[in-house]
A and B are shown apart, each in its own frame.
Chain A
Amino acid sequence: MSVIAEHGGIAEHIHPEPQGFVRKYIFSLDHKIIGIQYIITAFVFFVLAGLLAEVIRIQLMHANGGFLTPEVYNEVYSVHGSAMVWLVIIPMLTGGFGNFVMPVQIGARDVAFPWLNMISFWIFPVAGLMLFSSFLMGAPVAGWTEYPPMSLQGAAGTSMWCAAIFLVGVSSTLTGMNFLVTMLKMRAPGMTYTRMPLFCWGQLATAPLLMIATTALAAALAALFMERQFGVPFYDPTRGGSPVLWQHMFWFYSHPAVYIMILPAFGIMSEVISVFSRKPVFGYRLIAFSSSAIALAGFMVWAHHMFTSGIAPYMQLPFMILTFAIAVPTGVKIFSWLATMWGGKIYLTSSMLFAIGFLALFTFGGISGIFLAAIPFDLHVHGTYFIPAHIHYVLVGGSLMGIFSGMYYWFPKLTGRYMSELWGRVHFALFVIGFSGTFLPMHYLGAMGMPRRVATYDPQFQFWNQFESISSFVMTLAILIFFVNMLYSIRHGKPAGHNPWGARTLEWQIPSPPPYYNFKHIPSVFGLPYDFTEPLPYTHLEDELTDSPVAVGAH
């Protein structure tokens, strides 16, 4: 058959649709169902970890605390940080959007290893429940970074934390491997690397980070677990261990991890800004290349978290300078998105508003990152509220804004319906106001002398802490509106058709929600998906939106 010949041996073979609720929706092998499972699970953990954040803000309403004992307060912020990083942002952007969108965007029927994909997902809720169950046995107290020897003193739940994060790391590693093979081997004919949508470039840069960096964290966690449970001295200095060893291994993972959390969001930005500006994305090659440059350089800057830890003085300098250097490819992306908006016909949809908010807030977080990279200034603000301010500007102002933008953008593809645009705008306005009020003053508090991870603080800082707490309630209200909007729109949203935004990537050329086989015929690709003045650069898509029968093959 000519199609097979043309497709270089990729068979037009479609498996029969799985029957029965369990095989279809619970232990599904379909990357789209698994993606939705990731999104739902991550949102559930997001609600839990978000409630913990509000508990933190209630405690900090008064300089003397008083809402919680210091012990419980320490547990609360430790689990909040761990859950937001490992159970919300990373699974949402890789397992969630990556699973649902990436295989369709490259013209594949599924990921390379569907069974592995299912296993990756099912590890994740189990690990999440383990993490939250640590509250029952005394949760970890030393923050999401769990520096020993403090974490060696922690209650039994700290070992549970090790096991939970280890498992979620296994899930990440498998997902990274799965995505990498999928993108290397399963692109549709003609989908060269320089024709891949930029969201896929974001995932392509992220997948090796997931595979390589997470293994370092796994080793560090295994060692911490063995030391706590069996007394093997890795980190205890009184028995020949090194507490700084943990810091090196932890940050060798956790610095690349911040790129795991932002590169897919960069990918979402490139798609959303181009589509809603009705313009080709500006500087496609430079954006794609800069993702890879950021991923590579991201491995070589981990010790900038350790300038106060007493690493050899001359070793500090290359870490500082390389960290400054990462600002260059990141700046290239920001400027390219600005240039994409210039001269556009900009649709200010909720998705685009969040993309605009991303540009404003993430840039601020990026700039405060430069401040932190400069050793002399870092020595002043390290370990203060400046750090939570910076991390929330990049992870909430960056990654979470990217997640919201992506949800408004792809919701019609997930469900066939729009989310309410009116409430989307209310969500955006309240969120940006609440977010800025919560995290902007933290920069000031940190620089003025308020250390982080404290249950009580100097009364001179009380005014701004109360201001932050009240702002955080506004932010919570905004998120509540988002959830109500989303849940309502699943059933009652306005029908959206297959391509409501006039987008040109492959996922918008098939029905919404996509059928389990994605494409009746694997398409051929002969151009970039961003040339709005050109006809679509695909062939073999004529049947996708018709009722023509699907050629289901036997096993």
Chain B
Amino acid sequence: MPARKPHTVETSKPGRGFWVTTAILALIAFAGWLYFWMIPTVQPWLPPEGGHPGDQVDWLFRFMASAAAVLYTFVVGYVIYFAIAYRRRKSDPPGALGFHVHDNTKLEAAWTIIPTLFVVLLSALSVNIWYVLQVQPNNGLVVESIGRQWYFTFRYPNVNGEVTSEMHLPVGVPVTLNVTSQDVIHSFWVPDMRLKADMIPGMINTIRFTPTRIGRYQIICTEFCGTEHSTMDKQIMVVEPQAQYAAWYHGWQVRNAHVGNALPTVSTGTINLAGGDAAAGRALFSQKCSACHALGPFSQRIVGPGLQGVLHDPAHPNLVDGDPATPANVAKILQSGYTGSFGHMPNQSENGLSSKDIANLVTYLNSLR
């Protein structure tokens, strides 16, 4: 090992230039923070906002953008300042070195711990807003949208078949929108509502929002879906609920009266499930259901899925229409049927089940584990 020469090492603390620069950067950072945080209702960086919870998303954007402006100002400011202030000058002797500093535990701890705390704060805020997005409104409208190459259609409660015109929504009414696809993956994006869900064949994804401003909003497909992907869009008309929405809705009820089945209404509640007879239900099942449904696990598909334990299967907590697998909801499907991207299930007029039959069938299905 060669002997190590003792060196006198130039050490230094941050000088006046550093603190002046820091002060200037702090001013710029404050201005940037102020700009993004205090941005008024007119948002130049996002499209006009059309509803709730878009306001929450905008709040998160403002929070992140204002914090990012501070962080970025300091990083880039110091990079430029160091590159200029500590550049090698012609007057420097050849072989001149920088300060001999290896590390500084306090500094390193600071820039590990402070960002960690910020991450905790940002996580808490994001989870909070994420929760708002998940909350199912217990009133309002349940609508379905189906994507196909290359157009969107909609299904409304008590309207047979699919609505092919522009989507209409009453202003101020919470909407639960279930989306799916019949071919490849599409994506349902309303920039003004700040919400998006992929439309995936064989799956239902849900977005929940409340349009708060009357107007026309664009739906855009944001998942590549083939040649005409660029032009796949549609409009949402958010209209005044009484006259305009009701008229439009009634028009589609009449127009589609002769086709398919209606999307089940949200509240039927006409069937009394108490006192159902499981043995009678079992007989009915082999008569009415077993052509399409096996008495096996969910994956054992004939036309529809296997129904063994349909009410108790933790892997499939929801029914085909996205509602939780409860006896009342099973009864609802037996009553009003289902027509959608998963296929067709007869309704009460087609399957010929009486209300008592339905109660018996539900009791039987509930007894299967």
Residues in A whose Cβ lies below 8 Å from that of B166: none
- A512–B224 Cα distance when bound, in Å, is 49
**Contact mask for chain A residues 281-322; partner B; CB cutoff 8 A; 1 contact, 0 none:** 011111000000000000000000000111001001100110
- Known: A310-B205, A332-B111, A374-B126. Is A282-B197 also a contact (CB below 8 A)? no
B76 in the interface (beta carbon within 8 A) = yes
Q: Please determine whether A374 and B134 come into contact, CB atoms closer than 8 angstroms.
A: no
Interface residues of A in 318-362 (CB under 8 A from B): 320-321, 324-325, 327-328, 331-332, 334-336, 338-339, 341-348, 356, 359-360
**Contact mask for chain A residues 431-451; partner B; CB cutoff 8 A; 1 contact, 0 none:** 000000000000010011101
- A336–B103 Cα distance when bound, in Å, is 9
Q: Please determine whether A533 and B86 come into contact, CB atoms closer than 8 angstroms.
A: no
B75 is contacted by which of A147, A344, A360, A380 (Cβ under 8 Å)? A360
**Contact mask for chain A residues 457-473; partner B; CB cutoff 8 A; 1 contact, 0 none:** 10000000000000000
**Contact mask for chain B residues 221-242; partner A; CB cutoff 8 A; 1 contact, 0 none:** 1111111111100000000000
Q: Please determine whether B230 and A454 come into contact, CB atoms closer than 8 angstroms.
A: yes
A501 in the interface (beta carbon within 8 A) = no
Q: Please determine whether B116 and A328 come into contact, CB atoms closer than 8 angstroms.
A: yes
Residues in A whose Cβ lies below 8 Å from that of B79: 338, 341, 356, 359-360
Chain A contact-residue range equals: 35 or more
Residues in B whose Cβ lies below 8 Å from that of A347: 87-88
B86 is contacted by which of A286, A324, A343 (Cβ under 8 Å)? A343
B78 in the interface (beta carbon within 8 A) = yes
Q: Please determine whether A532 and B97 come into contact, CB atoms closer than 8 angstroms.
A: yes
CB closest chain-A residue, reference B10:
A343
B295 in the interface (beta carbon within 8 A) = no
A189 in the interface (beta carbon within 8 A) = no
A237 in the interface (beta carbon within 8 A) = yes
- B interface majority secondary structure: mixed
A142 in the interface (beta carbon within 8 A) = yes
Q: Please determine whether A243 and B72 come into contact, CB atoms closer than 8 angstroms.
A: no
Residues in B whose Cβ lies below 8 Å from that of A240: 299, 301
Q: Please determine whether B60 and A341 come into contact, CB atoms closer than 8 angstroms.
A: no
- Known: A328-B115, A342-B82. Is A237-B201 also a contact (CB below 8 A)? yes
Chain B contact-residue range equals: 35 or more
Residues in A whose Cβ lies below 8 Å from that of B173: none
- A321–B80 Cα distance when bound, in Å, is 32
In addition to A278-B88, A448-B46, 10 A-B residue pairs with Cβ atoms within 8 Å of each other are: A279-B101, A346-B86, A360-B76, A374-B126, A376-B57, A382-B222, A447-B47, A456-B230, A533-B7, A535-B2
Closest 9 CB pairs of A and B: A383-B222, A237-B202, A279-B98, A344-B98, A343-B99, A449-B191, A454-B230, A310-B205, A341-B82
Chain A residues engaging chain B, CB cutoff 8 angstroms:
65, 70-71, 74, 141-143, 147-150, 153, 237-238, 240, 242-244, 277-280, 282-286, 308-310, 313, 316-317, 320-321, 324-325, 327-328, 331-332, 334-336, 338-339, 341-348, 356, 359-360, 363-364, 367, 370-371, 374-377, 379-380, 382-384, 444, 447-449, 451-457, 502, 526, 531-535, 539
Can you list 23 A-B contacts with CB-CB less than 8 angstroms, sorted by A residue number? A65-B230, A70-B227, A74-B224, A74-B229, A149-B201, A243-B201, A278-B88, A283-B108, A284-B103, A320-B123, A324-B123, A332-B111, A338-B82, A344-B99, A348-B83, A359-B75, A360-B75, A363-B76, A448-B45, A448-B46, A453-B229, A457-B230, A535-B2
Chain B residues engaging chain A, CB cutoff 8 angstroms:
1-2, 4-5, 7, 9, 12, 14, 18, 45-47, 53, 56-57, 60-61, 64-65, 68, 71-72, 75-76, 78-80, 82-83, 86-88, 92, 95-104, 107-108, 111-112, 115-116, 119, 122-123, 126-127, 129-130, 133-134, 183-185, 187, 189, 191, 194-198, 200-205, 218, 220-231, 299, 301
